[in-house]
Amino acid sequence: MSNEFAHRMARKSIKLVDGSGNPVAGQEVQLNLTNHKFLFGASTFDAVEVANKSVDPDRLAFLEDKMEKFFDVFNSATLPFYWDRFEPKRGKPMTEELQNAAKWLKSRNVTLKGHPLVWHTLTAPWLLDMSNKEILKAQFDRIERDVTDFKGLIDMWDVINEVVIMPIFDKYDNGITRLSQELGRVGIIKEMFAKTREVNPNATLLLNDFNTSINYEILIDGCLNAGVPIDVIGIQSHQHQGYWGREKLEEILDRFSHFGLPIHFTENTLTSGHIMPPEIEDLNDYQIDDWPTTPEFEERQAKEVEEMYSILFKHPLVESITTWKFSDEGAWLGAPAGFLRKDNSPKPSYDVVKRLIKEDWHTNVTVRTDDKGMLTFEGFLGDYDLVCGDKSVSFTLEKESAQDQFTI
């Protein structure tokens, strides 16, 4: 336990009494962190197939194995709500399939985020037949339906994705770019946040972008001054063209900290393969047949993951890190972007991130109660099991922790 993580920890005093109210004095007590408050996540699109058992048994067993390796380390997950896939035919959304996935993940104690409610890429192609007024209504209806249908299962949403480029996106025509051109960047953000907030007032709402330049800073500044209820600043960090490194990472953290809002690293990629050439501007333009993971680059990935996760965990405003692809299988651009190889075997990066989360930043202490039944301990924030002999009690360690009394 080091001071650099003091903001992630708290000290707490607990009084233990027995069923008759007498102090449990001089007893050995174990305090074990069962779930971090900090969100360590990955996108878990496979959960849809696993929860719905919609693939053949061999494939299902393979995906279940992958998901178990996920559950061994992580406590948060991003589920896919890309409109063109979620509702390929208008009026026939994949609500049930996604609800099954969400329920299963929730039963495994995973905190969920839906991604995204509004985005120009992978949006519904049938918007193209509509007027802007109709597109706006369809988008509002979609938010109203999906945020309602998942309330209690998913209370965290990437409301709108990649707005910096949205109105000037020119790869292909789409309904959301059209709408953003009419409403303006701040205008479309404002509308979508207002609607999402209205439908789920207690949800955590993110603005998310891959643009980490001054553009995104000014956009956030404008939104906040315009009263847009942004809860969290989402920063994508797909580093196919090489690890940003400490200096750039700290510079970005510094610039986006000025708003005083929590920051989530929503989509992190560090590959265990060769680096994409720097001249590629849109990562989607890099199409190669094979992008292998190699032992040498797996070591590099592990080192980069350790440094980056450590820098982010140290920063007081960062509350979540999501690695975008948990496994190389099916990764975006075919990149070896996962913590697992295509065959589900763990890379060194998996071991590193598991060690960080489950050992280095973990709390599992044994203390002894005094003659008044009191114990004091310090640990990482999150959910705990307190075990004393064959009795146990669960509680949550918060930053400002009052003294508690537990009966065991």
Which residues in 84-127 belong to E strands, given as ranges?
111-115
Does position 181 interact with a copy of itself (CB under 8 A)? The reply is yes
- Please give the DSSP secondary-structure letter assigned to residue 118: B
Pick between residue 191 and residue 319 the one whose CB is nearest to a copy of itself. 191
Does position 187 interact with a copy of itself (CB under 8 A)? The reply is yes
> How many residues of this chain bind a copy of itself (CB under 8 A)?
21
Q: How far apart are CA 31 and CA 377, in angstroms?
A: 8
Of the residues 223, 249, 331, 353, which one makes contact with a copy of itself according to CB under 8 A = 223
- Assign 230 to helix, strand or coil: coil
Token pair, residue 236, equals 């994508």
Paired with 161 in beta bridges are: 208
Q: Per-residue contact track with a copy of itself, 201 to 220, x per CB under 8 A? A: -------------xx--xx-
Pick between residue 164 and residue 367 the one whose CB is nearest to a copy of itself. 164
* Smallest distance, a copy of itself to C-beta of residue 255, A: 9
Does position 248 interact with a copy of itself (CB under 8 A)? The reply is no
Can you tell me which residue has the tokens 């690890």? 243
* Smallest distance, a copy of itself to C-beta of residue 76, A: 30
Of the residues 221, 306, 307, 404, which one makes contact with a copy of itself according to CB under 8 A = 221
The distance in angstroms from the start CA to the end CA of the chain is 28
Does position 185 interact with a copy of itself (CB under 8 A)? The reply is yes
Does position 226 interact with a copy of itself (CB under 8 A)? The reply is yes
Does position 190 interact with a copy of itself (CB under 8 A)? The reply is yes
Does position 186 interact with a copy of itself (CB under 8 A)? The reply is yes
* Smallest distance, a copy of itself to C-beta of residue 165, A: 9
Sequential DSSP letters for 37-61: SSEEEEE-THHHHHHHT-S-HHHHH
Backbone angles phi, psi at 131, to 5 degrees: -75, 165
* Smallest distance, a copy of itself to C-beta of residue 229, A: 14
Pick between residue 317 and residue 387 the one whose CB is nearest to a copy of itself. 317
Burial class (CB within 10 angstroms; exposed 0-12, middle 13-18, buried 19+) of 114: buried
Of the residues 25, 55, 164, 311, which one makes contact with a copy of itself according to CB under 8 A = 164
* Smallest distance, a copy of itself to C-beta of residue 190, A: 6
CA distances from 375 to 9, 170, 238, 389, 408 (A): 17, 62, 45, 15, 14
Q: Per-residue contact track with a copy of itself, 256 to 275, x per CB under 8 A? A: --xx----------------
Paired with 138 in beta bridges are: none
Pick between residue 6 and residue 168 the one whose CB is nearest to a copy of itself. 168
Does position 254 interact with a copy of itself (CB under 8 A)? The reply is no
DSSP H or E segment with residue 267: strand 263-269
> What torsion do the CA atoms of 180, 183, 187, 190 make, to the nearest 10 degrees?
-70
Q: Are 269 and 323 in contact (CB under 8 A)?
A: yes
DSSP H or E segment with residue 405: strand 404-407
Binding site for a copy of itself (CB under 8 A): 164, 168, 181, 184-187, 190, 214-215, 218-219, 221-227, 258-259
